[in-house]
Amino acid sequence: MNALSRTLTFAAAVATLAVAPRSEAAVRVSIRVPAPRPAVRVVARPAVVVGVRPSAAHVWIEGAWVRPPYAGAVWVAGHHTRRGVWIPGHWRS
């Protein structure tokens, strides 16, 4: 191959790369996100467990009879987040 044909081949390759579209869309990033824990429905335990149940509206949670703040409330038990932060138990709708 002589110098002229090498130069023309190189120029054609550079021109092809200059006009070719970029393929940045081929980059893929995978992020794994764990699903949140499901809420725990509060179920009333029998009054024979500890003493007398105050009323039918009260439920047994973490060692005490409590009354939910509103109908359909769900108690979410205290837990640690992935970063180690403690979230105390709370009511959720």
Q: What tokens does 65 get?
A: 């009879």
Q: What tokens does 38 get?
A: 């499901």
Domain residue ranges in the chain:
38-93
Cα 81 to Cα 84: distance, rounded to the nearest angstrom: 5
**Letter for the amino acid at 28?**
R
Read off the pLDDT of residues 42-62 as tens digits, 9 standing for 90 and up: 665 554 555 567 777 888 887
- What are the residues whose beta carbons fall under 8 Å from the beta carbon of 40, sequence distance 6 or more? 74, 75, 76, 77
Q: What pLDDT score was predicted for residue 47?
A: 47
Global pTM reads: 0.39
Contact criterion met (CB below 8 Å) for 79 and 87 = yes
